[in-house]
């Protein structure tokens, strides 16, 4: 769908919010503790966007604009929390370093056949590519996804994430590494299957 932002009437922009609700809700739910909290963050986002729609410049897509507002709402919610979020230890521990062993040979070279396609099929529209990334994000183990989004979506500093989750920084780095490795696996498989 071709999107021209600047010419749109504010009422049309507001009308288009609904199609982004599920995406926003998924993002919020990966960060916050309950559906209710996620619902509130999305509602607050829409309310703020409706208030601010007259000032929306159209420089970025509507969704990117909403996502930016949601980011602030989630950061606020996280910072308001009095207590730490405990990660599920089963998912959070660095276990035995073995998670990606099957991707590499004993001396650390890529195994032939695990790399999949270097890039997407030309038949895939950009919107589909982003949907694929979204799908792969949803497949991350809950804690891995939460840590990844605190860093890559909320843009929080390592020290803040580490103290929010009572996690050592080294451990945090390992979780981020795992998230990116899993995402690469997942999207590159999707590019090949397209």
Partner 1 sequence: MRPPDHHDDEHDDRNDGARFSCRDSTWLVSEARDRPLSATERAQLHRHIDSCPHCQVASKQFERLFAQIDDLLGHTRHNGG
Residues making contact with partner 1 (CB under 8 A): 27, 60, 63-68, 71, 94, 97, 99-100, 104, 107-110, 112, 115-116, 118-120, 129-130, 133-134, 137, 149, 151-153, 158, 170, 173-174, 176-178, 180-181, 183-184, 187-188
Rounded to a whole number of angstroms, the minimum distance from the CB of residue 186 to partner 1 is 9
Helices (H), the chain: 10-16, 21-31, 35-52, 62-80, 89-92, 126-138, 142-152, 158-165, 169-193
Name the residue among 144, 160, 152 with its Cα closest to residue 79: 160
Name the residue among 82, 74, 65 with its Cα closest to residue 31: 74
Closest to partner 1 by CB, 86 or 139: 139
Which residues have CB under 8 Å from 89's CB, separation 6+? Answer: none
CA 140 and chain centroid, separation: 10
Closest to partner 1 by CB, 86 or 110: 110
Closest to partner 1 by CB, 66 or 92: 66
Rounded to a whole number of angstroms, the minimum distance from the CB of residue 83 to partner 1 is 26
Rounded to a whole number of angstroms, the minimum distance from the CB of residue 184 to partner 1 is 5
């Amino acid at each position: 769908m071709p999107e021209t932002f600047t010419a749109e009437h504010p009422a049309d922009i507001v009308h288009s919010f609904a199609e982004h609700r599920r995406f926003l809700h998924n993002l919020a739910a990966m960060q916050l503790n309950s559906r209710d909290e996620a619902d509130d963050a999305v509602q607050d986002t829409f309310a703020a966007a409706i208030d601010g729609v007259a000032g929306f410049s159209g420089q970025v897509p509507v969704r990117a604009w909403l996502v930016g507002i949601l980011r602030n709402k989630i950061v606020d919610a996280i910072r308001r929390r009095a207590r730490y979020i405990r990660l599920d230890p089963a998912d959070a521990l660095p276990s035995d370093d073995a998670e990606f062993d099957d991707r590499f040979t004993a001396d650390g070279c890529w195994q032939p056949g695990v790399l999949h396609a270097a890039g997407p099929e030309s038949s895939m529209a950009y919107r589909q590519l982003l949907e694929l990334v979204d799908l792969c994000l949803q497949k991350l183990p809950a804690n891995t996804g939460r840590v990844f989004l605190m860093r890559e979506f909320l843009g929080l500093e390592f020290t803040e994430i580490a103290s929010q989750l009572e996690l050592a920084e080294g451990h945090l780095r390992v979780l981020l590494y795992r998230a990116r490795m899993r995402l690469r696996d997942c999207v590159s498989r999707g590019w090949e299957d397209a």
